A and B are shown apart, each in its own frame.
Chain A
């Protein structure tokens, strides 16, 4: 069997510049394996090592996601092989587009019974692609997954939900989105990085995939920077902590905040 890790090569908005008219400039933000995805790589490897499955990484996006650095970064994290769809027609693609392309790749790989993904991407931060992929495949989708292990005829899965930890048995194909701290991902060592160069990479053309076309489209009317708000900015010197604390508490009481 095959376990797919659906991951993203993405920049961190922390390093992006927001222009005054509200558009976002990512040119100075370096891409990496998206922040929460190493957890999915690690879980996939652990499950595969106990079942003998192979682990295939799948990533889809614009042309910039296919570099030798990006390939190595993924392949050094416990993958057996990698499948990439990198096409500039996917610049700014929404979660449904990305999920539609991922679904065609998963079907093409064939004997997949588990897709693992991180909690959300670091750049878009919506946490939607994995669950839309489940919809696209018609598979069970579960998020907030904190543990996965092989069990009789399937997988034992735990989910971290507001009321506690839910345990489940999954006996059919499923897409699981993990919590950000489900496991501590290992850091790739020199051996992993050198080994990465020898692992197979398949680059699929978007045209070769039978991706359903978008039915609903978005037309952007305007962009803006979030309003910073009109804050009072009363700054108090704290070199005398007692006096500063008294001044602040007095001001908050006068303003009826306390």
Chain B
């Protein structure tokens, strides 16, 4: 298939498209959005700086957005863009999977940089959960690219009309209800300061030490993987690293975290990293800006007290 120099973006349930539009503009001057879901979602995209909006029509009551994945794939394939970009989260994965399958093209995740080299597209991405990076040239057709979450875009472009495309959504799934979360999901990516704790913590009750410090410093609580998926002391959406969030706060405080690569890839873009660990040989002391070698059970309360004192 001859892919054109156009770039398309896929928008499913999530109107956070500004990151997709910015990335798409790196690759081409013209950007077309394919939107599955409610008309309101399509309307939120018309002024996001795209040139065309193709909308698959109002879903019948109870139809999940994922049911449009085959339609999205057919629409994108018909346009034969040089690249198609979508969200690496939620329904975005389903859309990109359907596109990758129809085009028999690899789906590219963990993307850190995109470039256009003549008619070809270069993609740099972290592989194996972030322990290494690889730069690839995509040849033979469309580059199918998943990008991590962006922000809700302010309308920056001129509004373009919504063009409705005939769709034939799958009818095999029906939504029957939504139970909202008791606690609002935390957005660690938006936090300026994050205080994370790892296996150095001996008991769940001792978490108060860490939350006191987080409160004193004005930061969000986070953790390394064993505390979220091993002992379940902290909610999964606060897990930092390979299997969790990748964040870039101004200040990251790592307490009782040894500094394995699989954790550190989640914070390598932090401006300042502070570590507290009782093991002076812990890997984290080679990857931090400031470190205190000491027992977290005495150092953390001292830090909380020092922060409360006036400068």
Interface residues of A (CB under 8 A from B): 13-14, 16, 18, 22-24, 94-97, 99-100, 103, 120, 123-128, 130-136, 138-144, 157, 161-174, 180-181, 212-229, 231-239, 241-242, 244-246, 248-249, 251-253, 255, 257-258
Contacts and interface: CB of A to CB of B under 8 A. Distances in A.
Interface stretch (B27-35, B37-45, B46-54, B267-275): B267-275
16 contacts: A24-B132, A125-B243, A127-B93, A128-B100, A134-B69, A135-B98, A216-B143, A218-B136, A218-B138, A219-B136, A221-B136, A228-B286, A231-B273, A233-B285, A238-B276, A239-B294
Given A96-B105, A131-B97, A226 B294 contact: no
B93 A128 contact: yes
A223 B133 contact: yes
B95 to A, nearest CB: 8
Of the candidates A24, A143, A174, the one having the most CB atoms from chain B within 10 angstroms of its own CB is A143
Interface stretch (B151-159, B201-209, B295-303): B295-303
A215 B260 CA distance: 38
A22 B134 contact: yes
B170 A140 contact: yes
B59 interface: no
B306 A232 contact: no
Given A135-B70, A249-B303, A216 B289 contact: no
A238 B285 CA distance: 13
A248 to B, nearest CB: 6
Contacts of A126: 107, 109-110, 146
Interface of B: 1, 64, 66-67, 69-70, 73, 90, 93-94, 96-107, 109-110, 122, 126-144, 146, 170-181, 185, 217, 229, 232, 236-237, 242-243, 250-251, 260-262, 265, 268, 271-274, 276, 280, 285-295, 298-299, 301-303, 305-307, 311
Contact of B97 (A141, A222, A226): A141
Q: Lowest 7 A-B CB distances belong to which pairs?
A: A238-B294, A172-B172, A135-B101, A131-B97, A135-B98, A216-B105, A245-B302
Contacts of B98: 131-132, 134-135, 141
Contacts of A164: 178-181
B291 A95 contact: no
B73 A135 contact: yes
Given A134-B98, A224-B134, A242-B305, 19 more contacts: A13-B128, A23-B132, A24-B128, A96-B104, A99-B101, A103-B101, A135-B98, A135-B99, A165-B178, A168-B173, A169-B173, A216-B144, A218-B136, A218-B138, A222-B135, A226-B130, A228-B287, A235-B290, A235-B293
Given A128-B97, A222-B135, A227-B268, A216 B90 contact: no
Of the candidates B110, B139, B286, B298, the one having the most CB atoms from chain A within 10 angstroms of its own CB is B298
Contacts, number: 310
Nearest to A136: B101
Contacts of B265: 226
A219 B139 contact: yes
Contacts of A238: 276, 292-295, 298-299
A214 B64 CA distance: 30
Majority secondary structure of chain A interface residues (helix, strand, loop or mixed): mixed
A120 B288 CA distance: 30
A216 B173 contact: no
Given A125-B243, A234-B289, A96 B173 contact: no
Nearest to A222: B135
A234 B274 CA distance: 9
A236 B293 contact: yes
Of the candidates A124, A126, A171, the one having the most CB atoms from chain B within 10 angstroms of its own CB is A126
B94 A131 contact: yes
Given A241-B302, A252-B251, A134 B94 contact: yes
B172 A170 contact: yes
Contacts of A135: 69-70, 73, 94, 97-102
B290 A248 contact: yes
Nearest to A238: B294
Contacts of A255: 272
A249 B69 CA distance: 52
